[in-house]
Structure 1
Amino acid sequence: MPRFMGFVRMEEGIGQPPQALMDAMGVYITEQATAGHFLDGGGLYGTEDAVNFVVRAGETTRVDGPYAEAKEIVGGWSLLDYATLEEAVEAQREFADLHAKHWPELTMVATLRQVSEEPPSPSDG
């Protein structure tokens, strides 16, 4: 079955989610896990402790957070398993709808991407 990654991007420092959302997410994730769709996932801490390694022009530079220029950050992730892309898309919509219902003042982007099952091919460089 194809695997997918779900990401949640939102503004940093907007406070804790409402308890109603946390409760609804607990039920939703339990249902998805029981059905074998939710494999793993969780929320991420803020960027104050984040570390990036930037590769540019053959050089690697470490850049520590927080990042003043970041307007949106990845706040959570999930590893999902669905038989079809359509099922995964529908589940991601349901996930986003929970946020719209229980935290209506939130602006967020719920992204779904399929995980490549093929090893990367060497470049023809």
Structure 2
Amino acid sequence: MPRFMGFVRMEEGIAAPPQALMDAMDTYIGEQAGKGVFLDGGGLYGTEDAVNFVVRAGETSRVDGPYAESKEVVGGWSILQYDTLEEAVAGQEEFAELHAKYWPECHMVATLRQISDAPPEAADA
């Protein structure tokens, strides 16, 4: 059964979501967990304590948050399991529509990506 990762990207530092959205998400996620679709997930803290390791030209450097140049950050994630890609897309759209309905002033992007179960192939293979 294919697994997917959902991301929620939004502006950092905006007001907290309204309680109505949190209640609707609790209900929706509870229903999805009951069906075996929602496997794990949660919200993320802001980037004030984030740590990035940047690899460039064979060198690794550490960059600590917050990141003034960031306009959008990943604010939440989920691991989902559906029978088909079409069901996964429909589920992610339902999740996005909760935000449109209960937090219309929020600008967010709900992204869905399928999780690969195979190791990546080497470029020189």
| Percent identity over paired residues | 78
Task: Name the structure 2 match of 1:112.
Answer: 112
CA–CA distance in structure 1, aligned partners of residues 120 and 74 of structure 2: 24
Structure 1 unaligned runs (5+)? Answer: none
Task: Name the structure 2 match of 1:93.
Answer: 93
CA–CA distance in structure 1, aligned partners of residues 7 and 36 of structure 2: 19
TM-score, length-scaled by structure 1: 0.98
Code of the residue aligned with 2:32 in structure 1: it is: Q
CA–CA distance in structure 1, aligned partners of residues 91 and 54 of structure 2: 33
Task: Name the structure 1 match of 2:15.
Answer: 15
Q: For residue 118 of structure 2, give the secondary structure of its aligned residue in structure 1.
A: coil
Structure 2 unaligned runs (5+)? Answer: none
**Residue range with higher mean Cα deviation, 113-122 or 31-40:** 113-122
Code of the residue aligned with 1:12 in structure 2: it is: E
Render the CA deviation track for 1:15-47: whole Å, top value 9, x for unaligned: 211000000000000000000000000000000
Code of the residue aligned with 2:28 in structure 1: it is: Y
Deviation at 1:111, TM superposition (A): 0.2
CA–CA distance in structure 2, aligned partners of residues 71 and 16 of structure 1: 17
TM-score, length-scaled by structure 2: 0.98
In the alignment, is residue 81 of structure 1 matched against residue 88 of structure 2?
no
Task: Name the structure 2 match of 1:58.
Answer: 58
